[in-house]
Amino acid sequence: MSHTDILGGRIAGLQFEAIPAEVIDKLKTCLLYGMAMAATAGARDPLELAVHAANEAPGRARVLASGLSRSAADAAYINAFRMCARGQNDTYAHAYAHPGCIVIPAVLALAQDRHCSGRQVLTAMAAGYEVLAAIASGHADAVVGRRFRATSTFGVFAAAAAAARLLDLDARQCAHALSLATQHSAGTMQCWSEGTPEWRIQVGNSARAGIICALLAGRGFPAARQALEGDSGFYQAFAGRPPVGEPGWSWQTPSVIFKPLPGCLINQAPLYLLLALQRQHGFEASQVEGVDVWLSERNAAYPGIDRHGPFQAATGAVMSCAFMLAVGLRDRTLRMRDFQALHGPGAIHDLSRRVRVRACAELPDWGARVSVRLNSGATHQDEMVEISRFGFGWAETDALLSTMADEWPWPDGAGRYEQLKQAVAGLDRARDIQGLVSVLCET
C-alpha cells in the first residue's frame, strides 16, 4: 500500500467513538482557542477586506466576524486568513506547523454547508490534526531547511483529510484527496525576511485547497498513488529525501501547544522567561543594560528572528525577537495592537537594540536561555528547554482567553466568550454547528 492508501484508510474508517477522550478534550480546547483568536483579531483591516472581495462566491457558510455567507471554500479561506491574524496559533512543535488555523476554518465552513453534527466536526478535526502529524513527522526539519513554511506545506493535507472525513469519502477517495493535496502544498518564508503579509494567505490557500481536493476526489478525480513517497513525489520535492518509513497514526493531538502571547512561536519562550524574571526581581526597562537571548541554531537562523526595527509593516515586528522582548520589558506584557502601533519609527526600537539573539548548539528547538544584565552589575538568567509547559488544558486555556474578551469587536465580548465556551464544550451533543458559528457573527 502507498502512503496515501494507508492514510486514506485511516481517515475513512475513523469513528467518533474510537477517538480517545484526551484527544476529544484537546480538540475542543483547540477549537475554543482558534475561534477566540479569530474573534480577537479585531475589526476587519484593508487586507481582510481585500480577501473578502477576492472570495465572494455565494453559499451557505458564514464568515466569522462579518457574518456574510460564502461558499465553503471561500469561507474557509477568509476565516483562516482571520484566524491567524494575531500570529497566535496552536502548534505541533515537532512539525513546526500550526494545524488549527487551517483545519478549523475548513471544517467549520464545510460543516455549515453540509449540515454536519458536532460529532462529525470533532471527528473531522481529529483526522486533520493526525494526518498533519503523520505526514510531517521526520520531514519537517528538512522542509523548513529548504525555506518552505511548514504550516502551509503540510497544512493542506490536514485540511484535505478533515474535509474528506466530513464528506464521508471512502478509503480510495480519501487517498486521492491527499494525493491531490500535494499539488497545493506551497509557501516560502521570504515574507518573514521582508516583513510582508503573505503568511496569512498561505494559511487561507491551504484551508481552501483542502476542501477543493476533497470535493474533487469525491467526484472521482484520480491522483498518483505514490504522490508522497514516489521518486518525484512530495518528500523528494519538498524535503529533498525519501520518506522515513510508512506514515504512523499515534494520536499526536494531545501534544499540541498554544502560544500564550501574540507573535512568533520561536519568541514565546524567551519572552515568557523575560517576563518571569522581571516579575521575580522587579527591574524596570530603564535599569537594563542588555538582554542576551540564546536559541537553537535552527531557531536563531529562522528568517526575521534576529531583525531590529523600525519595520515597514507589522509582520516584521511579529517575527522579531528583539521587538517582542522590548515591548514586554517596557510594558510587562505584549498585546496584538503593539505590532501595528509600534512597528514603525519610535523609541521602542532603541530599547530593542539592547536585545541580542545568539545561537546555541546545546538548546533544542523552541527552547531558550535569557540573561538580563542590569546597570547595577547584577545579572539574572533563566532557561527553558521543554516547551510542553505551553500544552495547556481546557482550564488554563479558558483562563488565558477570558482575559482577551475585551479585545473582541463587539461590546458584549465577555458574554459572547461565555456563549462560545458553552457551545464548544457541548459540541459532541450538538445536531449542527449553526449556534457555534453564530456566536462570532455580527447581529
* 368-374 and 379-384 strand pairing: antiparallel
- DSSP structure string for 187-231: -BSHHHHHT-THHHHHHHHHHHHHHHHHHHHHTT----TTTTTST
Q: How far apart are alpha carbons 90 and 372 in whole angstroms?
A: 29
Output the CATH code of domain 265-389: 3.30.1330.120
The separation between the first and the last C-alpha atoms of the chain, rounded to the nearest angstrom, is 50
Average pLDDT of every residue of the chain: 96
Question: What are 436's three cell numbers?
Answer: 457555534
Q: Which amino acid makes up residue 295?
A: L
Q: What is the pLDDT of residues 80-109, one digit of tens each?
A: 999 999 889 999 999 999 999 999 999 999
Q: Is it true that the peptide bond before 310 is cis, omega within 30 degrees of 0?
A: yes
For residues 364-384, one letter each, b for 16 or more C-beta atoms within 10 angstroms of the residue's C-beta and e for the rest, the string is bbbbbbbbbbeeeeeebebeb
Q: How far is CA 327 from the centre of its chain?
A: 23
Q: Is the separation of the CB atoms in 441 and 64 below 8 Å?
A: yes
Q: What is the pLDDT of residues 118-164, one digit of tens each?
A: 999 999 999 999 999 999 999 999 999 999 999 999 999 999 999 99
- DSSP structure string for 67-107: --EE-HHHHHHHHHHHHTTTS--EEBGGGTB--HHHHHHHH
pLDDT band at 45 (very low <50, low <70, confident <90, very high): confident
* Residue 386 clears pLDDT 90, i.e. is over it: no
List of residues 6+ apart from 391 with CB closer than 8 A? 254, 255, 256, 257, 258
> To the nearest whole percent, how much of the chain has pLDDT over 90?
93
List of residues 6+ apart from 13 with CB closer than 8 A? 171
* 368-374 and 288-295 strand pairing: antiparallel
pLDDT for position 333: 93
Q: How far apart are alpha carbons 190 and 52 in whole angstroms?
A: 25
Q: Decide whether 3-260+392-438 matches 265-389 in CATH topology.
A: no
H-state helical runs in 219-320: 234, 268-281, 297-300, 314-319
Q: What is the mean pLDDT of residues 317-321?
A: 96
Q: How far apart are alpha carbons 257 and 389 in whole angstroms?
A: 8
Three-state DSSP at 148 gives strand
Question: What are 311's three cell numbers?
Answer: 519595520
- DSSP structure string for 305-322: TT--S--SSHHHHHH-HH
Residue recorded with cell 501534544: 255
- Domain ranges, ordered by start, for the chain: 3-260+392-438, 265-389
Three-state DSSP at 247 gives coil
CATH class of 3-260+392-438: mainly alpha
Q: What is the mean pLDDT of residues 201-220?
A: 98
Of 41-45, 357-361, 423-427, give the lowest mean pLDDT range.
41-45
pLDDT for position 443: 65
* Residue 294 clears pLDDT 80, i.e. is over it: yes
List of residues 6+ apart from 377 with CB closer than 8 A? none
Q: E strand or H helix at 373, and its extent?
A: strand 368-374
Q: How many CB atoms lie within 10 A of CB 333?
A: 11
Q: What is the pLDDT of residues 224-251, one digit of tens each?
A: 999 999 999 999 999 999 998 899 999 9
Three-state DSSP at 371 gives strand
* Residue 301 clears pLDDT 90, i.e. is over it: yes
Q: What is the pLDDT of residues 320-373, one digit of tens each?
A: 999 999 999 999 999 988 999 999 999 999 999 999 999 999 999 999 999 999
pLDDT for position 43: 74
Q: How far apart are alpha carbons 55 and 145 in whole angstroms?
A: 32
